[in-house]
């Protein structure tokens, strides 16, 4: 079974990877990381370009046979609506039913997503909750799983890079090297 884990991943960090690993175990699934081309609810936009974020993801998940990067949103017109992505995947892979992984924070906004009512017909929505996180009660969610709480944020990582501070042990080493080589977040 394939689970889709979407997000900005600007940059991908060890918190993302730990959550995905726990979800893979709990769901018996492989995880396809789905970098958003242009998230409609992200008012400030992305710092790194979509191809850069996809490249960092590919570097970050390399070596884990349960992880891959799904780049279908790079082929679709912006903005990146999850419903459009799921429809495109259904056309490309008929008969493959996906799990859609969401954090409890993203699940709070779920009823406001574009064509949210169509999501359960396209995928099983699985919300991962960290201990103490509130999961909204909505019929759009199929299942909730509990994952480790790892307090790392992409916003903080970008701020550390901008301040010239180390991000070692916050992101996978190939991601740290990519950020440095491309002068991202300075």
Provide the CATH number for the domain around residue 42. Answer: 3.40.50.620
Residue 113 DSSP symbol:
S
The three-state DSSP-derived secondary structure of 20-88 is HHHHHHHHCCEEEEEECCCCCCCCCCCCCCHHHHHHHHHHHHCCCCCEEECCHHHCCCCCCCHHHHHHH
Report the pLDDT value the prediction gives residue 38, as an integer from 0 to 100. Answer: 83
Question: Does 132 fall in a domain?
Answer: yes
Report the pLDDT value the prediction gives residue 43, as an integer from 0 to 100. Answer: 61
Question: Does 100 fall in a domain?
Answer: yes
Question: Does 181 fall in a domain?
Answer: no
Report the pLDDT value the prediction gives residue 44, as an integer from 0 to 100. Answer: 66
Question: Does 91 fall in a domain?
Answer: yes
Question: Does 180 fall in a domain?
Answer: no
User: Which residue reads 């970050």 in tokens?
Assistant: 60
Report the pLDDT value the prediction gives residue 136, as an integer from 0 to 100. Answer: 87
Question: Does 182 fall in a domain?
Answer: no
Report the pLDDT value the prediction gives residue 110, as an integer from 0 to 100. Answer: 93
Which string of DSSP letters, residue by residue, matches 122-174?
HEEEEEEE-TTPPPP--TT--EEEE-------HHHHHHHHHTT---BTTB-HH
As beta bridge partners, residue 67 has 31
Question: Does 32 fall in a domain?
Answer: yes
Report the pLDDT value the prediction gives residue 40, as an integer from 0 to 100. Answer: 73
Please tell me the distance from the alpha carbon of residue 94 to that of residue 7, in angstroms, as a whole number: 24
Helix/strand/coil for 184:
coil
Q: Give the structural domain span for 25.
A: 2-149
> Tens-of-pLDDT digits for all 186 residues of the chain?
899 999 999 999 999 999 999 999 999 999 999 999 887 766 666 799 999 999 999 999 999 999 999 999 999 998 889 999 999 999 999 999 999 999 998 899 999 999 999 999 999 999 998 767 789 889 999 999 999 988 899 999 999 999 999 999 999 999 999 999 999 999
Tally the domains of the chain: 1
Report the pLDDT value the prediction gives residue 163, as an integer from 0 to 100. Answer: 98
Question: Does 63 fall in a domain?
Answer: yes
Q: Which class for 32: exposed (0-12), middle (13-18), buried (19 or more C-beta within 10 A)?
A: buried
For residue 162, report the phi and psi dihedrals to the nearest 5 degrees: -60, -30
């Amino acid at each position: 079974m394939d689970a889709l884990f979407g997000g900005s991943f600007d940059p991908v960090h060890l918190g993302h990877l730990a959550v995905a690993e726990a979800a893979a175990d709990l769901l018996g699934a492989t995880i396809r990381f789905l970098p958003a081309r242009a998230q409609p609810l992200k008012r400030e936009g992305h710092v790194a370009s979509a191809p850069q974020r996809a490249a960092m993801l590919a570097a970050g998940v390399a070596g884990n046979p349960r992880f891959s990067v799904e780049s279908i949103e790079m082929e679709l017109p912006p903005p990146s609506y999850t419903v459009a992505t799921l429809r495109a995947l259904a056309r490309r892979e008929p008969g493959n039913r996906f799990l859609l992984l969401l954090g409890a924070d993203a699940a709070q906004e779920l009823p406001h997503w574009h064509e949210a009512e169509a999501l359960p017909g396209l995928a099983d929505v699985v919300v991962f909750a960290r201990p103490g996180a509130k999961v909204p009660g909505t019929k759009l969610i199929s299942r909730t799983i509990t994952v480790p709480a790892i307090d790392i944020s992409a916003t903080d990582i970008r701020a550390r890079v901008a301040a010239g501070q180390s991000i070692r042990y916050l992101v996978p080493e190939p991601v740290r090297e990519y950020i440095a080589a491309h002068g991202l977040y300075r």
